[in-house]
Structure 1
Amino acid sequence: MLGHHTLTGPEDAPVLVLGNALGTTTELWREFDLPFRLLRFDHRGHGRSAPSDGPCTIEDLANDVVELLDHLGLRQVYYCGVSLGGMVGMWLAAHTGRISRLALLCTTAWYPDKSVWDSRIEVLRSSGMEPAADAIVGRWFTPAFSPAVVARFRAELLEVDVPSYVACCEAIREMDLRADLAKIDVPTVVIAAAQDQATPPELARQIADELPDSELYVVGDAAHLAVVEAPRTISVILDDHFGNVRPEMVG
C-alpha cells in the first residue's frame, strides 16, 4: 500500500528512512537536520496516506515500506524508526536485505501487558479519538514540555483515521518480534528515554541484549517522543551511527 512520502536532501547522500510513531506524521521529524537524503512516510490513515482497507499486521506495514523502496528504486537504505516505526524497522531488518544500518527509538519487540491496547481499542471504537487523545499525548511528552508543541501533536492525532489507528493498535497488540531479533545482523543503535512510560528503558535493553551488533543509549528528560523533546541529542547519536558507511542504492 503506497502512501504519502517525501524524499529530500542531497541527491548523492545516503538515504535514511524515518519511520513514525503511532498517531504521528512526517511532522515528527520537523526539527531534524541530518546530512542524509531523508525519506519520510506516513503510515496507513495517518497524515496524507490513504486509510487502511482492513486489519493489518506489522508485516503488512513493513511491506508498505518495501513497496515504497521499490517505487523509488532504492535497493538498500538506512532506517530509523520511533515506536511503531521501530517495530516496522525490526521486521524489515530481520526479514529483508533492504536495511544496512538500523536505529530503534523508544520501541519494543513485544508488549507483555496487552490490556492497555484492549482498553484503548474499546474507547476508540465506542467514542472515537477525542476521548482518548489526552491520555495518548500525555504519554508522549514530559509534563514540563512546550504546551504549544503538545497541542500541535494533539491536533495531528485527531486527524488520524480512527479505523486505521485501531488496525495499527491491533497489529501492535498481536506483535511478538522477540524471535526475530537474533536475525538482525546489521549495526543497530537502540535509544530509550528515561521518562518513557509507553516503552520504558528496560524494554529497549531487552532489544539491545538480543542483537548481535548494537549499542544502547538512554536519553534523560524526555518521554516517548524523545525525538521531539531531545532532537539535538538524538541527532548526534544518529549522525555518529549512520555517518560512517554508505549503503548501496540504485536509481
Structure 2
Amino acid sequence: MLHHHLSGPADAPPLVLGPSLGTSTAVWAAALPELSRRFRVLRYDLPGHGGSPAGLLPSPEPGRTTVADLTDLVLDLADHHGWDRFHYAGISLGGAVGARLAAHRPERIASLALVCSSAHFGPPEPWHERAALVRTEGTAPLLTTAPGRWFASPDTTVTAGTPFARRLLADLAAADPTGYAACCDALAGYDLRSELHRITAPALVVGGSRDTATPPAHARELAAGIASSRLLLLDCGHLAAERPRELAAALLPHASVEPAARDRKRNPGSAGGAGRSTLR
C-alpha cells in the first residue's frame, strides 16, 4: 500500500489528504493539528515520494501511468481501513485524484476539496519533457525553479529558507525519478473537463491568487463545472498549504456538514437542482 500516516480520534469521520507532485505527507503537516481534532486524518505519499516506493505503480514505464492508477491505490488504502465513504482533500495532483474518485466512484466520497488543482493541467508535451528530464537526471534540476512555483513570496530565496520549504524541497530532492516521472505522465494524460458534471459530492475549490502553475482560471473552471461547489481564493502560490490556518479554516466547516444537511440548506423543499455559491 501507499505509505501513509493516521492522526486524530479513531472513531472520527475519515478525511483523506492527497499531496501535490514532488511533495510528501509533510505538505499537510502545518494544517494537521486543526484537522485532526475533528477527523481521522489519513495523509499519503504518492508512488516514488516520501515512503511510497515507485514499485507500487502497475506500469511505471514511460507514458503508462494514469490518474486512474493513483486513484486505485488510494481506494486500496480506504478499503484497508474499512472506510466505505470518506471526505477527501487534495492539492494539485492529489486534487486530481480526488476529482476522478468523485466522478467515477461517487458513493465513496462524502465531500471533496480541490486545492490549487485543475480539470486539465495543460498540454501533455511539457509533462512528458519533464518526465524524460527526471528519468535522465533525477529531480535535482527542478530544485531551483520549484520555490517560484510553489510559494507566493516574491523573494523565493527567503521563502525557500523557511523550515516548511526546506522540508518540501528535501522531499523533492529525494523523490524516486521513476515515481516522479510516472506522476508527470499521469498529469499529461489527465483531462476531466467533460466529466466534471458527474461530481455530485459537495465540493470546495480553493485557488491561489498568485498560483502560476494552476492560476485562478483553473479553479474557476472547476467550480463552474461542478454543480455543488464553492470557490475560495487564498493569497498563496501553488501550495496553499503555506497558508495552513486559512486552509484548515475552510476545510473544517466544509467537511463537517453531512451531505444530506447541505442538500436541505441548498434546496429547501426540493430534491434536485443544487446551486453554487462563491466565496471571495
Note whether the superposition's TM-score is higher than 0.5.
yes
> What is the distance in 2 between the residues matched to 1:56 and 1:84?
13
Per-residue deviation, residues 12-68 of structure 1 (Å, max 9, x unmatched): 211110000011111111111212110111111111111144131100000001111
Once the two structures are superposed, what CA deviation does each residue of 1:95-127 show, in whole Å capped at 9, x if it has no partner? 112101000000001133334323322321332
Higher relative contact order (CA 8 A, sep 6+): 1
Counterpart for residue 43 of structure 2:
40
SS where residue 150 of structure 2 aligns?
Answer: coil
Which range moved further: 133-142 or 180-189? Answer: 133-142
Q: In structure 1, list runs of 5 or more residues that go unmatched.
A: none
Give ranges in structure 2 of 5+ residues lacking alignment: 261-280
Deviation at 1:90, TM superposition (A): 0.5
Partners of 1:122 and 1:146 lie apart in 2 by: 26
**One-letter amino acid of the structure 2 residue matched with residue 225 of structure 1:** L
Contact 2:111 2:259 in 1 (8 A): no
Q: Match for 2:224 among 209, 212, 222?
A: 209
Letter aligned with residue 208 of structure 1: A
Cα deviation per residue 1:112-153 (whole Å; 9 max; x = unaligned)? 333432332232133221112221332101234362232221
> Within 5 A, what are the aligned runs for 1:165-244?
165-220=180-235, 222-227=236-241, 229-244=242-257
1:114 matched to 2:124? The reply is: yes
Take 1:116 and 1:106, find their aligned partners in 2: how far apart are those partners? 19
Task: Say whether the 8 Å CA contact 2:10–2:40 is kept in structure 1.
Answer: yes
Matches within 5 A, 1:102-181: 102-142=112-152, 143-144=154-155, 145=159, 147-148=161-162, 149-181=164-196
- The answer on 1:51 being equivalent to 2:54 is yes
What is the CA distance between 1:10 and its match in structure 2?
A: 1.1
Equivalenced residues, count: 244
TM normalised by structure 1 equals 0.92
What stretches of structure 1 move > 4 A for 4+ residues in a row? none
> Normalised by the size of structure 2, how large is the TM-score?
0.83
AA aligned opposite 2:239: L
Who is 1:31 aligned against?
30
Match of 1:90 in 2: 99
Distance in 2 between the 1:102 and 1:111 partners?
19
Q: 2:9 is matched with which residue? A: 10
Question: Is this contact kept in 1: 2:201–2:259, CA < 8 A?
Answer: no
- C-alpha distance in 2, partners of 1:165/1:40? 18
Q: Which one has a bigger Cα radius of gyration?
A: 2
After superposing the two structures, state which structure 1 stretch, 120-129 or 205-214, moved more: 120-129
The one-letter amino acid paired with 2:187 is I
CA contact (8 A) 1:120 1:132 kept: no
CA distance in 2, matches of 1:125, 1:49: 18
Percent of residue pairs identical: 40
Deviations 1:226-249 (A, max 9, x none): 11x2111111111121122289xx
